[in-house]
Amino acid sequence: MIASAKAGAKVIHIDVMDGRFVPNISIGLPIVAALKPIAAEYDLILDVHLMIVEPERYLAEFQAAGADVLTVHVEASPHLHRTVQAIQALDVLAGVALNPATPLSSIEEVLPMIDLALIMSVNPGFGGQAFIESAKNKISRLSKMISDCGSRAIIEVDGGIKSHNVADVAAAGASLLVSGSGVFTSAAPVANKMNELNQALAMGPARMV
């Protein structure tokens, strides 16, 4: 986390997995709380992605632990409008995430009120998976929906982001790009991988032709 901050990261994305909504179990409240002082020292935003069932039960606790952004899954939130209101009442930014098979229409009604829409470009649960190519078209369509309804929401993309696809994803309309195995690898220092991503972004999608 410190290495990525020193290499220019502004946001730390934290995947919280419960072994029920997704098959894997990852980290929870104590780790978010432990990361908060480091985030504050390096001026980092803590972007907490709740891959858990009944996320509404834990919103206040994650906010108290230090989350700046709380993102819930539409598939885990039958009362999504209420859940988004509950997040915003805690004075943190509200995000809604969609799995690869979930249609954009599922967030149409809350799009004007949310701060962030997260497109999953892998099936959630494990790191290191390959980017699902159809996500690019989904990002483009979401970008149009956002501008059509006048929403302030930004598009975040999570899963399989690497230097070979990061520019395409940004060109499709994403402005917050999550990279796990694309940055944290034994093959090279974090700073090198961050530089690779930033250079690919700066060159833009034309380089792919």
Q: Which of 18, 47, 115, 158 is catalytic?
A: 158
In 3D space, the residue among 112, 122, 208 whose CA is nearest the CA of residue 165 turns out to be: 208
Write down the catalytic residue from 15, 18, 115, 168: 15
Contact 147, 158 (CB under 8 A): no
Q: Indicate the residue whose CB is closest to Zn ion.
A: 49
Number of residues in contact with Zn ion under rule CB under 5 A: 3
Residues 155-174 that bind Zn ion (CB under 5 A): 158
> E strands of 2-135, at which residues?
11-17, 45-51, 69-73, 93-98, 116-120
Size of the chain in residues = 209
In single-letter form, the type of residue at position 12 comes to I
Label residue 120 left, alpha or beta by phi (over 0 means left) and psi (-120 to 50 means alpha): beta
Which of 119/172 has CB closer to Zn ion? 119
CB closer to Zn ion out of 158 and 168: 158
Residue 53 or 205 having the CB closest to Zn ion: 53
**15 given a catalytic annotation:** yes
- Is residue 75 at the binding interface for Zn ion, with CB under 5 A as the rule? no
Minimal distance, residue 52 CB to Zn ion, in Å: 12
CB of 95 closer than 8 Å to CB of 113:
no
Question: Binding string, 15-54, against Zn ion, x = CB under 5 A?
Answer: x---------------------------------x-----
Residue closer to Zn ion by CB (options 52, 146) is 52
DSSP 40-58: HHTT-EEEEEEESSSGGGT
Would you call 91 a catalytic residue per the annotation? Answer: no
In the complex, which residues of this chain contact Zn ion (CB under 5 A)?
A: 15, 49, 158
Catalytic residues: 15, 158
